[in-house]
Each structure stands twice: as structure tokens, then as C-alpha cells.
Amino acid sequence: MLEQVLKGTKNYWRWIFFLSAIILLGFFYYLEQTSYGLGITGLSRNVTWGFYIAQFTFLVGVAASGVMVVLPYYLHDFKAFGKLTILGEFLAISSVAMCMLFIFVDMGQPFRIVNVFLYPSPESPMFWDTIALGGYLLLNVIISRVVLDSERKSIAPPKWIKPVIILSIPWAISIHTVTAFLYSGLAAKPFWMTAVLAPRFLASAFSSGPALLILMCLILKRITKFDPGKEAIQKLAIIITYAMAANIFFILMEIFTAYYSGIPEHIHHFQFLFVGLDGNTSLVPWMWISTILALSALIFLLVPSARRNEKTLFGICLAIFASIWIDKGLGMVVTGFIPTSLSEVADYWPTIPEILISLGVWAIGFFLITIFYKIALSVRREIVR
């Protein structure tokens, strides 16, 4: 199967080389970061988690979203998703790989990461997060390998894979819940310490992940012979509609409890996000863009003709992906620190090295997705005579 990666059109190779260039650039800046220290980023004593952890948090959501395709197909026999499940699993693998890389580049002493396993700390959500993510990666690697291999040989997959696939469903929910627990258990950060954080994470995951899946399917439909079918795309769009509605609902709930209770500790974070605090308006334009994108995406999704038109659906999914990337990334992680525990307004903005390293990791993720999808589609073409 792997040899399929080495055969491709001119455009395929142009894309691979483009991604490789970004990866090399990111790697070069990572070496700079290793020699200078994490001070090369915009992080500071007050804002200790920033762009890297924001990407990590967002991508755990995208990884978990594979379950939105696996669950209907395997638990409810929704045959229309038949062509998509392998793509969902490959998306999960690439996303988890990116998550782990973002954690790695964010560590002060990355080569000591093995200490997490040598000295297990069950009281720490971070310990459980490593186990959950590692396990999820393993599950998806096994599942995708076995299923694709069986497809290539035109036989049914072995019986033992079914319980493994069923296991991946609650496991997907748990990876994002544990990631939410990293934040929602901290008494020090009132912006994060809310019971609705885990449900919010899941709702935004199940909108942004399937949105990316639709985007990739529509692109693949254009450049290859792959066509998941109108029913599959439309069903995904409906799932996104419900998930996005829940996501926006949860955000509105947060805003209500903060503003109606009037507690300054809670209000200040939302003030920082939407109108600025003490002259710091760095995230204000971003949050308003995110809000407008989210609301307009949801409205368009609710209009059947817009949802069924694949051109508008493409735009809608882009809007959803961008909106949630802003909201969950910068909007959630950085805002937890501003204002600080001492009620001071701090400052944070990613630096050029930080952005380039992050782009390098994203490029690795897209590289993985490209070669995985290449393998999957090549296998499918082998079967279709």
C-alpha cells in the first residue's frame, strides 16, 4: 500500500514539496527555539500557554470528530458513510499526531517527556491526557490498517476489529473530555473553571472536525475520482448544524452566567475578548470575526438550499472551521490568563518563530493526511475495475 505514495501527478508532487518546504522551515525555527529557549515565543510569566497549546486544544477536537462518522456507520448501520469512515480515521490519526507534536514543541524539556510514564501521576489530568491520546492514536492506526488492508484484499475485515472500532467511539469522547479537564478543574482560572467547558469542547469539535472532513471530500471530488455521495455529505452537514447550534448555545450560556451574576472576575475575561480591557484590544477584532462567521454559518446551514448547494456548503464549512479555530484557540487558551490571577491585564501575541514552527506542525499534519488519503484512494481504485 505504501508504494502508492510514490506515484502521483505533477500537482500531487508540487503539493508534497510545498508542504516539505514549510516543514523544513518550521524545523529550522524549532532548532532555534531549542537553543534559545521558549522565550523565542510570545509567552511570558503571566501568559504561560499560548499558540502551541491553542493549536493542541483545537486539534484534539478535530481528532475526536472521527467518531461522528464512525458512530452512525457502525452502531446504526448508516451505509451512506461507508466511504467516509476510513477518511475520518485517517483524519483522526493526523490530528492526534499534530496534537502530540504541538505538545512536544511547547515543552521546556521535551526529552524528559518520558518522565510522565516513568513517574505516573494519576491525580494529574495531563497524565490521563497522554494515555487517552496515545491510546486513541493506537486504536485508529490499528483500525485503519486492518480495514484498509481487508478492502484491498476484497475481503471482509476480521471479526475482532468490530469491538475495537466500538471502543474508539467512547474513547473519542473521552479524549476531548480529558483535555477539557486540563482547564476546567483549575480554581486559579475562573474563565476556564466552568462545568460547560467539556460540553462546549465536544460541540465545537463535532462542528469543526466534520466541517474539515466535508472540505476535504469536496476538494477530493474535484481533483480525484473520489465521490462520497450526496447523502453522506448532506448527513454530515446536518450533524454540523446541530453541533454548531449547541456550540453557540453553550457560548451564550457562558455569557449569560458571567454578565447576569455580575462577578467582575468572570466578566473581565469576556470584556477583554469583545471590547478590550485596559487598552488591550488584541483579540477583539478576532472574536468579532469569529462570532460573525459562526452566526452566519449557522444561519446558512439552516437554509436547505444553501446547505444542499456544494459551493455554498464549502464556504460555510470554511467559516465554521475558521470561527472555531479562533474561538477555541486564541479565544479560550490565552483569555484564561488575561486578566491574570492577580487581576492584572497581561499581553500576548505569537511571534514569527512561534507561528512558523506551528505552520511546520500543521504542514506535517497535512502531509500525513495527503499520503494517507493517497493510499486509501489508490486502494479503492484497485478494487474498482
Partner 1 sequence: MDENRRKFLKLTGLGALGLTAAKYADLFGNATPTKLAFDDSDTKIRFAMVIDLKKCLAKEDCILCIDACHKTHNVPDFGNPKDEIKWIWKEEYEHAFPNKENYYLKEELKHADVPLFCNHCDNPPCTKVCPTKATWKRDEDGIVMMDWHRCIGCRYCMAACPYGSRSFNWRDPRTHIKEISDDFPTRTTGVVEKCTFCDERIAKDLMPACVEACTEKALIFGDLNNRKSNIRKLLKENFSIRRKPGLGTEPEIYYIV
Question: Which residues sit at the interface with partner 1, rule CB under 8 A?
Answer: 36-39, 43-46, 48-49, 103, 106-110, 112-113, 115-127, 130, 182, 185-189, 265, 336-337, 340-344
Nearer Cβ to partner 1 (250/348): 348
Nearer Cβ to partner 1 (56/325): 56
CB 213 to partner 1: min, Å: 31
CB 35 to partner 1: min, Å: 9
Nearer Cβ to partner 1 (53/84): 53
SS3 assignment for the chain: CHHHHHCCCHHHHHHHHHHHHHHHHHHHHHHHHHHHCHHHCCCCCCCCCCHHHHHHHHHHHHHHCCHHHHHHHHHHCCHHHHHCHHHHHHHHHHHHHHHHHHHHHHCCCHHHCCHHHHCCCCCCHHHHHHHHHHHHHHHHHHHHHHHHHHHHCCCCCCCCHHHHHHHHHHHHHHHHHHHHHHHHCCCCCCCCCCCCHHHHHHHHHHHHHHHHHHHHHHHHHHHCCCCCCHHHHHHHHHHHHHHHHHHHHHHHHHHHHHHHHCCHHHHHHHHHHHCCECCECCCHHHHHHHHHHHHHHHHHHHCHHHHHCHHHHHHHHHHHHHHHHHHHHHHHHHHHHCCCCCCCCCCCCCCHHHHHHHHHHHHHHHHHHHHHHHHHHHHHHHHCC
Cβ-based neighbours of 284, under 8 Å, separated by 6 or more: 273, 274, 275, 276
Nearer Cβ to partner 1 (48/257): 48
Nearer Cβ to partner 1 (2/252): 2
CB 100 to partner 1: min, Å: 13
CB 157 to partner 1: min, Å: 18
CB 335 to partner 1: min, Å: 13
Nearer Cβ to partner 1 (81/128): 128
CB 280 to partner 1: min, Å: 14
Nearer Cβ to partner 1 (82/110): 110
**Rounded Cα–Cα distance for residues 224 and 15 (Å):** 14
Nearer Cβ to partner 1 (77/123): 123
CB 325 to partner 1: min, Å: 21
Residue type, 22: I
Nearer Cβ to partner 1 (115/281): 115
**Rounded Cα–Cα distance for residues 172 and 136 (Å):** 7
**Rounded Cα–Cα distance for residues 61 and 350 (Å):** 22
CB 344 to partner 1: min, Å: 6
CB 188 to partner 1: min, Å: 4
For residues 210 and 240, the answer to whether their CB atoms sit within 8 Å is: yes
CB 124 to partner 1: min, Å: 5
Nearer Cβ to partner 1 (99/297): 99
Sign for the pseudo-dihedral over CA of 325, 319, 210, 1 = negative
